[in-house]
């Protein structure tokens, strides 16, 4: 090769690199085309602004005006790295009511994520989807928050709305959501109400909307975007009055059956709260037990049963563990989830450590298992960690800030301690001999769940009694007990060190109920048999008895124990707490309760009353009577992610019709296990994940 030839190739290579760089630059600077619509018609003369959101104040990237067809073009410019792009559209003349002129109350939002689509439609649907998913990060037109939280929120927007068309998204229309919940009708109704103001279907439409969208003890909004934010953050406030606007804006014309709304379907009955939730499934999800959120916002859970199995309370085909992305996309194998490592019928116990290990306990397997968070591969042996067969049916498990792992043996009433997660150095604690504890004062009774507080003390709920046990992690023998309600299940510690405990049965208010509760708990404690078949039947009877007890005497409550051991009177959430199971604390120290047999979620004012709606005190319900509902079955756990979404576990579907029968009807034989996880968008103050110790804000 001659020097001249080499020089030509060098010049060509340089030219190619330059051309690629120019092409990349042009691609980045390409216009973002789109349109603004109100009531499915163009909005002319609207001011459209493109922003990039991050941890600080948003950065304005471009601005334009819509033409008579509602169209606009925005030069994207150079967006900050890891920023979330979003569009605000203000003012303009809606062509659906062109004769009424410009409307300054119009304000739309479309959160686009890190990579915007080729084109975008900004309308009522984009506004509602963006506001509800980003509710914890919005203040007027400003969107700001942690990178992870913003990314999670933006990732869920396309599930509700197609950003390129402004039409309904795919998930809200899928079979689990479109006809099985009221989310689709709620979503469309919210759009109709915003459209009523946008098009001024009556002269006072905006005034009426803003009046009912005024937050508790707050200031009335002046545009549709702030109105939507107020509704999303206080979904049960004036809920009936908001629904009444549907009739005020769109009365049924004489001789007609339906309202002349721009969006359908609309609600036929007033909701108790204007929440938006979606059911996510796949990845092996079936009869979910415990729930945990990892450091990337992915949801992990143990599946009591294998998808498609004809499992009953007497004989179940154990599932594995499942992993879903923050937007609900399954990451674990579709039917089987992640299996191996000794896992068999995982229950309530799941925890994620700072070292990217996922710890899980099993009921039928009577084991502790551990998986790699990134790959889902088992790290424990095929037999799991079973301590030579010394373990019974396992439930709660936690990792602590110093790396220790603690787990509970519900069947044999003992505690397993793995220092730094090392099973080879594990110890079994809390045993009794002839009814007397062998580890100092440490004694538990059907322990179910546990937590660690700021003083490195371990708290354990005793589901076979009405007590919780607390001991120093460094000296378990110095244990003490506190009396709470009957059959305590989940426990959570707030940032002040208070312990919040779900009492599934609660505090019986009649002698008849008290006698029945004591009888059931006594029969569970004394019903230890060695024959495996008899043992399985006894365990099944215990679960059936508990369910029947909760059905016959619906109720339950939550206890709060202060760090000094003071037990406050129980809270019942205005009678909305029914069979409470899972519990979580959000970044405001408010309390979230999964009502198992109540099929609902209760939101309580926590120990920091200043973070609650005006006039509320600790223990008061923030959620409406009956709690938050939507897609919920019989529940176990719930968890809060870094975007403030509340993930809830559906555990059972049809127990009496299928699960409690030794031979269920063939048509219902796969219907015992609950279907999927339900995610309520933007309801809670975000927390840092994974949850290791008491909750912290991100």
Tens-digit pLDDT profile for residues 128-166: 999 999 999 999 999 999 999 999 999 999 999 999 999
Q: How many CA atoms lie within 13 A of 547 on its CB side?
A: 17
Task: State the Cα–Cα distance between residues 674 and 408, nearest whole angstrom.
Answer: 24
Q: What are phi and psi of 389, to 5 degrees?
A: 80, 15
Q: What Å distances lie between residue 194 and 40, 106, 189, 665, CA to CA?
A: 12, 9, 9, 47
The per-residue pLDDT for 522 is: 63
Asked whether residue 272 is assigned to any structural domain, the reply reads no
Asked whether residue 306 is assigned to any structural domain, the reply reads yes
Question: What does DSSP say about strands 31-38 and 119-122: parallel, antiparallel, or unpaired?
Answer: parallel
Is 333 buried (19+), middle (13-18) or exposed (0-12) by CB count in 10 A? middle
**Region 637-646 average pLDDT:** 98
- Using DSSP, state whether 380 is helix, strand or coil: coil
| Res. 421: pLDDT tops 80 | yes
- Are 414 and 518 contained in the same domain? yes
Asked whether residue 687 is assigned to any structural domain, the reply reads no
The per-residue pLDDT for 123 is: 98
- Are 413 and 560 contained in the same domain? yes
The string of DSSP codes covering 464-505 is: TTTEEEEEETT-TTS-EEEE-SEEEEEEEE-TTS-EEEEEEE
- Report the CATH number at residue 499: 2.120.10.30
Question: What does DSSP say about strands 142-143 and 499-506: parallel, antiparallel, or unpaired?
Answer: unpaired
Q: What are phi and psi of 486, to 5 degrees?
A: -75, 145
Task: State the Cα–Cα distance between residues 528 and 537, nearest whole angstrom.
Answer: 11
How many other C-beta atoms are found inside a 10 Å radius of the C-beta of residue 683? 27
> CB under 8 Å to 531, separation ≥6 — which residues?
none
- Are 127 and 225 contained in the same domain? no
Q: Which two tokens stand for residue 109?
A: 């939002």
Strand partners, 168: 161
How many other C-beta atoms are found inside a 10 Å radius of the C-beta of residue 115? 8
The per-residue pLDDT for 685 is: 98
Helices (H) and strands (E) in the chain, counts: 10, 37
The per-residue pLDDT for 295 is: 98
**pLDDT over 90 for what percent of the chain?**
88
| Res. 525: pLDDT tops 60 | no
- Are 210 and 299 contained in the same domain? no
Cβ atoms of 278 and 254 within 8 Å: the answer is no
Domain final residue pick, 160, 188, 204: 160
- Are 371 and 434 contained in the same domain? yes
pLDDT band, very low/low/confident/very high, at 29 (cuts 50, 70, 90): very low
Asked whether residue 10 is assigned to any structural domain, the reply reads no
40 backbone φψ class: left, alpha, beta (φ>0; ψ -120 to 50): left
Asked whether residue 269 is assigned to any structural domain, the reply reads no
The per-residue pLDDT for 6 is: 43
- Are 118 and 193 contained in the same domain? no
| Res. 353: pLDDT tops 60 | yes
> Which single residue is written with the structure tokens 């809390």?
430
Cβ atoms of 191 and 262 within 8 Å: the answer is yes
- Using DSSP, state whether 85 is helix, strand or coil: strand
Asked whether residue 112 is assigned to any structural domain, the reply reads yes
Cβ atoms of 571 and 602 within 8 Å: the answer is no
Q: Which two tokens stand for residue 79?
A: 């967006």
How many other C-beta atoms are found inside a 10 Å radius of the C-beta of residue 512? 10
Q: Which two tokens stand for residue 292?
A: 């945990």
| Res. 5: pLDDT tops 60 | no
Task: State the Cα–Cα distance between residues 175 and 168, nearest whole angstrom.
Answer: 14
The per-residue pLDDT for 302 is: 98
Question: What does DSSP say about strands 71-75 and 93-94: parallel, antiparallel, or unpaired?
Answer: unpaired
Task: Please name which of 485, 689, 671 lies closest in space to residue 570, comparing C-alpha atoms.
Answer: 485
Q: How far apart are the first and last CA of the chain?
A: 60
How many other C-beta atoms are found inside a 10 Å radius of the C-beta of residue 356? 14
Task: State the Cα–Cα distance between residues 601 and 25, nearest whole angstrom.
Answer: 49
- Are 150 and 182 contained in the same domain? no
Q: What Å distances lie between residue 364 and 62, 72, 393, CA to CA?
A: 59, 60, 6
Task: State the Cα–Cα distance between residues 290 and 295, nearest whole angstrom.
Answer: 17
- Are 294 and 239 contained in the same domain? no
pLDDT tens per residue across span 38-88:
999 999 999 999 999 999 999 999 999 999 999 999 987 777 778 999 999
Task: State the Cα–Cα distance between residues 134 and 84, nearest whole angstrom.
Answer: 11
Q: Which two tokens stand for residue 115?
A: 């990579």
pLDDT tens per residue across span 482-508:
999 999 999 999 999 999 999 999 998
Task: State the Cα–Cα distance between residues 650 and 288, nearest whole angstrom.
Answer: 6
Domain final residue pick, 111, 129, 160: 160
Q: What are phi and psi of 149, to 5 degrees?
A: -60, -45
How many angstroms from the chain centroid is the CA of residue 536?
Answer: 33
Task: State the Cα–Cα distance between residues 146 and 497, nearest whole angstrom.
Answer: 25
Task: State the Cα–Cα distance between residues 655 and 634, nearest whole angstrom.
Answer: 9
pTM for this model (two decimals)? 0.94
Is 204 buried (19+), middle (13-18) or exposed (0-12) by CB count in 10 A? exposed
Asked whether residue 267 is assigned to any structural domain, the reply reads no
Task: Please name which of 399, 400, 403, 491 lies closest in space to residue 444, comparing C-alpha atoms.
Answer: 491
**Region 372-381 average pLDDT:** 98
pLDDT band, very low/low/confident/very high, at 562 (cuts 50, 70, 90): very high
Asked whether residue 6 is assigned to any structural domain, the reply reads no
The per-residue pLDDT for 16 is: 41
* Owning domain of residue 452: 277-680
Q: Which two tokens stand for residue 58?
A: 């948003």
Angle at 592 (CA atoms; ends 589, 596), nearest 5 degrees: 160
Q: Which two tokens stand for residue 508?
A: 């019986």
- Are 399 and 329 contained in the same domain? yes
- Are 281 and 188 contained in the same domain? no
How many angstroms from the chain centroid is the CA of residue 61?
Answer: 33
* Element containing residue 241 per DSSP (H, E): helix 239-249
- Are 389 and 533 contained in the same domain? yes
The per-residue pLDDT for 79 is: 73
* Element containing residue 19 per DSSP (H, E): helix 3-29
Where would I find the H helices in 527-616? Answer: 532-552
> Which single residue is written with the structure tokens 């108790």?
272
Task: 247-256: list long-range contacts, CB under 8 Å, 24+ apart.
Answer: 248/202, 248/208, 249/192, 249/193, 249/196, 249/201, 249/202, 249/205, 250/192, 250/196, 250/201
Task: State the Cα–Cα distance between residues 670 and 287, nearest whole angstrom.
Answer: 11
**Region 653-659 average pLDDT:** 96
Domain final residue pick, 101, 134, 160: 160
The per-residue pLDDT for 14 is: 43
- Report the CATH number at residue 60: 2.60.40.1120
**pLDDT over 70 for what percent of the chain?**
93
**Region 313-342 average pLDDT:** 97
Cβ atoms of 275 and 242 within 8 Å: the answer is no
Angle at 676 (CA atoms; ends 674, 682), nearest 5 degrees: 125
How many angstroms from the chain centroid is the CA of residue 613?
Answer: 21
Strand partners, 417: 406, 427
Cα torsion angle, 11, 12, 17, 23, sign: positive
Task: State the Cα–Cα distance between residues 452 and 399, nearest whole angstrom.
Answer: 9
pLDDT, the chain, mean: 93
- Are 533 and 400 contained in the same domain? yes
Angle at 105 (CA atoms; ends 101, 111), nearest 5 degrees: 120
The domain tally of the chain equals 3
């Amino acid at each position: 090769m001659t020097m001249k030839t080499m020089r030509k190739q060098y010049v060509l290579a340089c030219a190619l690199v330059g051309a690629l760089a120019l092409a990349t630059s042009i691609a980045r600077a390409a216009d973002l085309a789109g349109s603004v619509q109100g009531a499915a018609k163009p909005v002319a003369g609207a001011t459209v602004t493109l922003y990039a959101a991050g941890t600080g104040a948003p950065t304005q990237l471009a601005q334009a005006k819509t033409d008579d067809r509602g169209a606009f073009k925005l030069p994207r410019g150079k967006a900050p790295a890891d920023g979330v792009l979003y569009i605000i559209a203000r003012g303009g003349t809606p062509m659906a009511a062109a004769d009424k002129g410009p409307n300054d109350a119009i304000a739309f939002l479309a959160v686009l994520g890190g990579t915007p689509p080729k084109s975008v439609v900004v309308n009522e649907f984009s506004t509602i989807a963006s506001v509800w998913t980003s509710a914890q990060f919005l203040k007027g037109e400003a969107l700001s928050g942690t990178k992870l939280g913003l990314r999670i929120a933006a990732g869920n927007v396309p599930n509700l709305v197609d950003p390129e068309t402004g039409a309904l998204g795919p998930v809200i229309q899928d079979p689990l959501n479109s006809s099985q919940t009221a989310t689709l009708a709620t979503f469309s109704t919210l759009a109709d109400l915003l459209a009523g103001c946008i098009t001024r279907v009556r002269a006072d439409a905006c005034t009426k909307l803003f009046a009912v969208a005024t937050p508790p003890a707050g200031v009335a909004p002046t545009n549709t975007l702030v109105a939507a934010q107020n509704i999303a953050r206080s979904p049960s406030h004036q809920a009936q009055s908001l629904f009444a606007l549907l009739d005020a804006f769109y009365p049924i014309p004489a001789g007609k059956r339906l309202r002349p709304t721009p969006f359908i379907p609309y609600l036929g009955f007033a909701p108790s709260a204007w929440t938006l939730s979606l059911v996510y499934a796949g990845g092996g999800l079936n009869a979910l037990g415990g729930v945990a959120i990892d450091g990337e916002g992915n949801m992990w859970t143990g599946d009591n049963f294998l998808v498609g199995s004809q499992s009953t309370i007497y004989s179940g085909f154990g599932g594995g563990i499942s992993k879903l992305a923050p937007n609900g996309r399954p990451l674990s194998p579709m039917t089987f989830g992640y299996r191996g490592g000794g896992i068999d019928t995982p229950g309530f116990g799941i925890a994620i450590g700072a070292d990217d290990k996922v710890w899980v306990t099993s009921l039928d397997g009577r084991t502790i298992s551990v998986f790699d968070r990134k790959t889902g591969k088992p790290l424990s042996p095929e037999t799991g960690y079973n301590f030579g067969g010394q373990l019974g049916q396992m439930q709660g498990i936690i990792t602590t800030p110093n790396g220790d792992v603690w787990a509970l043996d519900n069947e044999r009433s003992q505690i397993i301690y793995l220092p730094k997660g090392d099973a080879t150095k594990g110890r079994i604690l809390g045993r009794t001999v002839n009814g007397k504890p062998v580890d100092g004062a440490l004694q538990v009774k059907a322990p179910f769940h546990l937590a660690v507080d700021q003083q490195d003390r371990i708290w354990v709920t005793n589901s076979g009694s009405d007590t919780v046990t607390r001991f120093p992690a460094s000296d378990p023998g110095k244990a003490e007990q506190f009396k709470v309600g009957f059959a305590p299940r989940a426990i959570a510690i707030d940032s002040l060190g208070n312990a919040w405990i779900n009492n599934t049965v609660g505090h019986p208010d009649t002698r008849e109920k008290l006698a029945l509760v004591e009888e059931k708990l006594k029969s569970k404690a004394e019903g230890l048999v060695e024959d495996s078949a008899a043992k399985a039947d006894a365990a099944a009877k215990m679960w059936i008895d508990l369910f029947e007890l909760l059905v016959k005497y619906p109720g339950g409550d939550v206890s709060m124990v202060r760090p000094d051991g003071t037990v406050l009177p129980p809270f019942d959430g205005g009678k909305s707490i029914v069979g409470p199971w899972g519990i979580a604390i959000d970044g405001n120290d408010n309390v979230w309760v999964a009502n198992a047999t109540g099929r609902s979620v209760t939101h309580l004012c926590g120990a920091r009353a200043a973070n609650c709606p005006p006039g509320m005190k600790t223990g008061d319900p923030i959620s409406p009577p009956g709690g938050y509902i939507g897609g919920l079955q019989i529940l176990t756990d719930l968890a809060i992610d870094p975007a403030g979404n509340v993930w809830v576990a559906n555990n059972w579907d049809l127990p009496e019709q299928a699960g409690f029968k030794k031979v269920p009807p063939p048509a219902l034989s796969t219907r015992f296990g609950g279907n999927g996880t339900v995610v309520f968008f933007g309801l809670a103050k975000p927390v840092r994940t994974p949850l290791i110790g008491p909750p912290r804000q991100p």
